[in-house]
């Protein structure tokens, strides 16, 4: 991956691209929302479809010359239906946030009410944060996890829904390590006559491989990202029952977006095909097993996990008890120096700021794509704990860096 053709035109960008390949290769990418897609997905995504406008949907486009775009979008849709068992699928959202926007625009009017999980408890900006369009266009109330257990407080949610009378209840989270009981949230929504949107952005791959229960067939709408655990082209996806299909499609285009990013849709189609192969199930199982092993190792080293563990691809470490003087930002910086790239994250009951919070979030999708298994995860967990214990100790960080270098060399990425 030398980017020679780019280099002839633009050496500065080529240098940055090759440096990014090196950065991804030489460190552990443990941001829970990231992954390493296959070369096939990369090739499809960088294809000539970036040149094509294809407003509309297969067979109903506003421009000529869309026959190959139609083939690819239809493949993406059909494969998605098979992966998640959905009646209707829209693969055009440019991102998970755009997918959520599509559902809100389809079903809500400005001023309608959203009930969603607070960002600091594991929710997402597009679920109604005041800095996001969702918080600006709609009236939002937020629920929280149980402060004792770190699990969704389903009973509290039901009481809150009763009082707030939302038009839509949003489930599915960005920093929630536990399996979600979709049917309990659906029951809450049903009781107050609200729609239920399950945003499975982080766990699309786990749901497709059946290692996390599926909200498809339970929630009215299921949205997701397509580049996280499902490891396909970058973007978003909406799934719903046939009765909402026209509303959702019109909300995405022309409601929220113009021309679809057809090169990304091609990446989605290829990634979905890969995810339909039997190996993908083993991959998704390993992602969860790796997160579990990581969590156990961190706990053995004295670190506290929100909810006491994980059922998913991520762990959320609350540093306040074990390392009261260390912020998530301190840990993130020191770990990056050691070659472990993850993010500082708010924790339930956050007492610091969103910019420099009290926790770190670590995910296993990308390193599992590199072939990491339990043995490596125990080493990674020990390494994280050693760095968190000594964020100012350059020699300790250097020692960990050497161990991470060895792990990276043993699990090469994007060879040749
Ligand atoms: N930025 C993503 C995450 O890290 O969770 C969500 O969009």
Does 84 have pLDDT greater than 80?
yes
Give pLDDT tens digits for 283-311: 999 999 999 999 999 999 999 999 999 99
> What is the C-alpha separation between 77 and 188, in angstroms, rounded?
30
Cα 315 → chain centroid: 13
Handedness of CA 306, 307, 309, 312 (dihedral sign): negative
Q: Among 102-111, 161-170, 246-255, 350-359, where is mean pLDDT lowest?
A: 350-359
67-84 vs 262-275: helix crossing angle, rounded to 10:
40
Q: Is the CB of 358 under 6 A from ligand 1?
A: no
For ligand 1, pick from 30, 31, 129 the residue to mutate: most ligand atoms within 8 Å of CB: 31
**Residue 272 φ/ψ region, left for φ over 0, alpha for ψ in the -120 to 50 degree band, beta for the rest:** alpha
Determine the pLDDT at residue 27. 98
Give pLDDT tens digits for 352-394: 998 899 999 999 999 999 999 999 999 999 999 999 999 999 9
Residues present in the chain in total: 416
Does 416 have pLDDT greater than 80?
no
Residue-range domains of the chain with CATH: 43-275 (3.40.640.10), 285-410 (3.90.1150.10)
Distance, CA 33 to ligand 1 centroid (Å)?
Answer: 5
Distance, CA 343 to ligand 1 centroid (Å)?
Answer: 10
**How confident is the model over 388-409, as a mean pLDDT?**
98
Q: How far is CA 283 from CA 208, 210, 371, 406, 410, in A?
A: 11, 12, 9, 22, 18
Give pLDDT tens digits for 143-157: 999 999 999 999 999
Does 335 have pLDDT greater than 90?
yes
Token match 């919070």: residue? 357
Determine the pLDDT at residue 415. 87
Give pLDDT tens digits for 89-135: 999 999 999 999 999 999 999 999 999 999 999 999 999 999 999 99
What is the percentage of the chain residues whose pLDDT exceeds 70? Answer: 100
Does 45 have pLDDT greater than 90?
yes
Residue nearest to atom 5 of ligand 1 (CA): 174
Q: How far is CA 171 from CA 44, 154, 181, 365, in A?
A: 32, 11, 10, 21
Q: Is the CB of 345 under 6 A from ligand 1?
A: no
């Amino acid at each position: 991956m030398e980017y020679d053709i780019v280099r002839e035109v633009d050496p500065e960008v080529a240098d940055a691209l090759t440096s990014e390949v090196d950065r991804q290769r030489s460190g552990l990418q443990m941001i829970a929302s990231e992954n390493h897609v296959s070369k096939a997905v990369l090739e499809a995504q960088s294809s000539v479809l970036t040149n094509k406008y294809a407003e509309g949907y297969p067979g109903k486009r506003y421009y000529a010359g869309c026959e190959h775009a139609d083939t690819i979008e239809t493949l993406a849709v059909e494969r998605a239906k098979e992966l998640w068992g959905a009646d209707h699928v829209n693969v055009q959202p440019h991102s998970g946030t755009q997918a959520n926007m599509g559902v809100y625009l389809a079903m809500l009017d400005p001023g309608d009410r959203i009930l969603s999980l607070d960002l600091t408890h594991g929710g997402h900006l597009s679920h109604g944060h005041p800095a996001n369009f969702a918080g600006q266009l709609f009236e939002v109330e937020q629920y929280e996890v149980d402060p004792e257990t770190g699990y969704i407080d389903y009973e509290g949610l039901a009481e809150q829904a009763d009082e707030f009378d939302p038009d839509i209840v949003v489930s599915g989270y960005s920093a929630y390590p536990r399996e979600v009981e979709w049917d309990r949230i659906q029951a809450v929504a049903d009781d107050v006559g609200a729609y239920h949107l399950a945003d499975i952005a982080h766990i699309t791959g786990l749901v497709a491989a059946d290692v996390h229960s599926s909200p498809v067939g339970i929630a009215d709408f299921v949205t997701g990202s397509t580049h996280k655990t499902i490891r396909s082209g970058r973007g978003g996806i909406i799934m719903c029952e046939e009765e909402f299909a026209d509303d959702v499609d019109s909300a995405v285009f022309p409601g929220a977006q113009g021309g679809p990013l057809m090169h990304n849709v091609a990446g989605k189609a290829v990634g979905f095909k890969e995810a339909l192969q039997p190996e993908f199930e083993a991959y998704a199982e390993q992602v969860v097993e790796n997160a579990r092993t990581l969590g156990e190792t961190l706990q053995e080293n004295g670190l506290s996990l929100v909810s006491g563990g994980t059922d998913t691809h991520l762990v959320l470490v609350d540093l306040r008890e074990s390392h009261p003087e260390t912020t998530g930002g301190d840990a993130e910086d020191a770990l990056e120096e050691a070659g472990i790239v993850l993010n500082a994250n708010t924790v339930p009951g956050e007492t610091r700021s969103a910019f420099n919070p009290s926790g770190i979030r670590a995910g296993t999708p990308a390193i599992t794509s590199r072939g990491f298994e339990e043995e490596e995860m125990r080493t990674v967990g020990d390494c994280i704990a050693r760095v968190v214990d000594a964020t100012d100790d350059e020699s300790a960080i250097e020692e960990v860096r050497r161990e991470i270098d060895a792990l990276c060399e043993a699990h090469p990425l994007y060879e040749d």
